[in-house]
Amino acid sequence: MFDFSYSEEQLAVKKMVRKFVDKEIMPYIQEWDAKQHFETSLLKKLADLGLMGVCIPEKYGGQGMDYNTLAIVCEELERGDTAFRTAVSVHTGLNSLTLLQWGDEFQKEKYLIPQAKGEKIGAFGLTEPNAGSDVAAIQTRAVRDGDHYILNGSKTWISLCDVADHFLIFAKTDPDKGHRGITCFIVERTFPGVTTRGFKDKLGIRAGNTGEVILEDVRVPAENRLGEEGEGFKIAMSALDNGRFTVAAGAVGLTQACIEASVKYAKERETFGKPIGRHQLVQQMIAKMVAGYEAARLLVYRVGWMKNRGMRNTREVSLAKWFACDVAFQAAVDAVQIHGANGYSHEFPVERYLRNAKAPVIYEGTREIHQIMQGEYALGYRKDKPLRKNLPKWPFEE
Ligand SMILES: Cc1cc2nc3c(=O)[nH]c(=O)nc-3n(C[C@H](O)[C@H](O)[C@H](O)COP(=O)(O)OP(=O)(O)OC[C@H]3O[C@@H](n4cnc5c(N)ncnc54)[C@H](O)[C@@H]3O)c2cc1C
């Protein structure tokens, strides 16, 4: 009934991504992070390895692997740096899987296939200057005009804003209806009226790209509406069920990076005549990292298992995301501590881990939002109703 082993295919992917990270990311990442440089050529290399559509069915241009293979990819990528895991999270988790779940055949043909092949990049535009956790407060407007909608508004903190070809944009079609008045649109960068501006000087994920998307009288064909009018909130939440899965998996990888760096340093650095790894308080910090890592990984893989079976996993993925991101953040705090003053320097990777580990505690549902969700589920105040469209089970039907 319970099988904790990787399949041969999953192991091969894990090995491939690890090799890729060790060769293509590790040697350069400290410099890219310092220079705030997003190395976009890596997106093409990830695409060449089939990693931009790993769990998208083959008939839609992907590799047709199971959902836990996506988790494995994210885990291994974030062992290198959060920036590249974020790219896969946004492109595959938040955008492509949403097209797979909610898109019609025309939209899958036109947008999902090139995204799954990595020929086009997808992003996700929900957050606005005045609306993050409170999604129903978004102000971007979409007004129907014949066979088009006209979009006006601005999105902020959008990952991949400067490199994405396609955005999922959430806008109000009926501002009086709160969250029931939100609709989702596929917006191309080339549509007149779309502009983007990447941010500089973020605390972390400095080797990645995040910023604003401005929409000024953007004419979007009605055929680019994803789902029905008023269905946008449900679409956004189901997208987050997939995005959170990738964020949680990435956090497991970051925790692993903290363990690797801490173990290495604890064996090399000596105080009071012995390696610091021989001091029990240092061992305690590493032991907590290991416990958190193992528990978080199990929570993540359980979600993948549920996705493979077509089961609703909003509660379980929220728990995995909250827990795994808190574990990763604490692991990074302790990894810096184990490195002493060296941990405070850019000469060692752990200060980057700490800066990177903060964002996932904020995005895709802050720690507080996940705690509220878990409290509400436990108390019976929150229950999930069936959705009109579900993510396909794995193995996919051809
Ligand atoms: C690096 C990065 C990348 C991002 N990428 C994307 C992206 O690609 N697409 C996208 O749409 N967004 C993205 N975001 C935005 C992110 O999803 C939001 O920042 C997040 O949802 C929180 O919203 P906020 O920043 O407006 O905080 P707010 O919602 O204003 O919250 C501020 C504080 O109040 C707390 N709070 C809010 N409501 C409650 C409550 N009811 N009870 C208790 N506490 C509460 C929060 O937990 C938080 O601590 C990104 C953010 C970052 C940092």
Q: Is the pLDDT of residue 77 over 80?
A: yes
Task: Report the CATH number of the 8-121 domain.
Answer: 1.10.540.10
Q: Domain 123-230 in CATH: superfamily?
A: Butyryl-CoA Dehydrogenase, subunit A, domain 2 (2.40.110.10)
Tokens of 75: 């885990």
pLDDT band, very low/low/confident/very high, at 274 (cuts 50, 70, 90): very high
Fold classification of 233-379 (topology level): Butyryl-CoA Dehydrogenase, subunit A; domain 3 (1.20.140)
DSSP letter (8 states) at residue 139:
-
Domain definitions of the chain by residue range: 8-121, 123-230, 233-379
Question: Which residues, including other chains, have CB under 8 Å from residue 228's CB and lie 6 or more apart?
Answer: 183
The rounded Å distance from CA 130 to ligand 1 centre is 10
Contact by Cβ (8 Å): 54, 65: yes
With contact defined as beta carbons under 8 Å apart, do 170 and 182 qualify?
yes
Q: Give residue-wise pLDDT tens across range 87-97.
A: 999 999 999 99
User: Alpha carbon of 109 to those of 56, 100, 186, 295: distances in Å?
Assistant: 13, 10, 13, 39
> Can you tell me which atom of ligand 1 is nearest the CA of 210?
3
CA 83 – CA 271 distance, rounded (Å): 35
Residues with CB under 6 A from ligand 1: 90, 124-127, 132-134, 157-159, 205, 210, 359, 362-364, 366, 368-369, 372
Torsion of CA 137, 89, 106, 135, to 10 degrees: -10
Q: What do you get for the CA distance between the two ends of the chain, in Å? A: 26
Residues linked to residue 198 through DSSP beta bridges, in sequence order: 211
For the segment 141-161, the average pLDDT, to the nearest whole number, is 98
Closest CA to 215 of 150, 163, 148, 157: 150
pLDDT at 288: 98
pTM of the shown model: 0.98
Q: How far apart are CA 241 and CA 307, in angstroms?
A: 10
| Cα 23 to ligand 1 centroid, rounded to whole Å | 34
Question: Which of 363, 370, 372, 381 has most ligand 1 atoms within 8 Å of its beta carbon, as the pocket-test mutant?
Answer: 363
The pLDDT assigned to 66 comes to 98
Q: Ligand 1 centre and the CA of 61: distance in Å?
A: 33
Cα–Cα separations (whole angstroms), residue 181 to 20, 140, 178, 232, 279? 44, 11, 5, 8, 58
d(CA 241, CA 61): 22
- Dump pLDDT digits (tens) for 30-44: 999 999 999 999 999
Q: What is the mean pLDDT of residues 225-239?
A: 98
Token readout for 384 is 């999930």
Q: Sort strands 210-221 and 274-275 into parallel, antiparallel or unpaired.
A: unpaired
> What is the predicted pLDDT for the residue at 398?
76
Identify the pLDDT of residue 13. 98
Q: Do the domains spanning 8-121 and 123-230 agree at the CATH topology level?
A: no
pLDDT at residue 160, as a whole number: 98
Give the pLDDT of residue 2: 83
Say which residue the tokens 């990763």 belong to.
Answer: 328
Q: Distance from the CA of 75 to the center of ligand 1, in angstroms?
A: 23
Atom of ligand 1 lying closest to residue 372 CA: 42
State the catalytic residue, choosing from 364, 368, 376, 398: 364
Average pLDDT over residues 108-123: 98
Which residue among 140, 362, 367, 369 is best mutated to probe the pocket of ligand 1, counting the most ligand atoms within 8 A of its Cβ?
A: 362
Q: Residue 114 pLDDT > 80, yes or no?
A: yes
Structure tokens at 113: 């296939």
364 is catalytic: yes
**Rounded to an integer, what distance in angstroms lies between the CA atom of residue 340 and that of residue 324?**
24
